Structure 1
């Protein structure tokens, strides 16, 4: 999804959901992601892609669009607005950046950590012909 987000210069977002498991003593939940919904160059709405009825909104995810030179390092970090969504709903967040990082914001301790550092990243040639 990150390469699509970059090539279209649009953010995408959705939820990570927890489905309660009732018949397996070794598992409490099965996790899945809702389909990403397209936003704009400057934002996206994760709750437009809701979890199934009865499932738990566990976390949310989104991409940043293509690199915007006017944002500087803002391309590669959670914005204050991103963190505010997480804090408001008490949900951790994941962010795929145009530089190829996958980051996690933890609402518990208000920290950001790298989950993965080799996502598709913003290179002009990758979008040719798309």
Structure 2
């Protein structure tokens, strides 16, 4: 389990990251990353997971979520303060090993960070789609 301060909790938080964040895809997952600074003192990075019914039944979805949570936990310290991340599993994640998910997570997270740094302050206003 991730600490409460390191998790996204509400649908509004998830929606903000997905709508305004940088996106990077890998074969088995997609990472959305938003580096906007939240009001107040520097906050820890937060992460949320989206594993839809298309990935598999409840047992498969929870297994994928547990694997992703274990893979993300050590990477939280590498993220800039105030960063929010949404990791969305694709159906191919159901057949993937933890090692394959780890490679995809590292690749997609690096790509999203690269895109976020390349265009600082270029976040889209709310309601604007790609």
Larger relative strand fraction: 1
Structure showing greater Rg? 1
Q: Is the shorter-chain TM-score for this pair beyond 0.5, marking a shared fold?
A: no
Give the TM-score of the pair, scaled to structure 2. 0.31
Give the TM-score of the pair, scaled to structure 1. 0.31
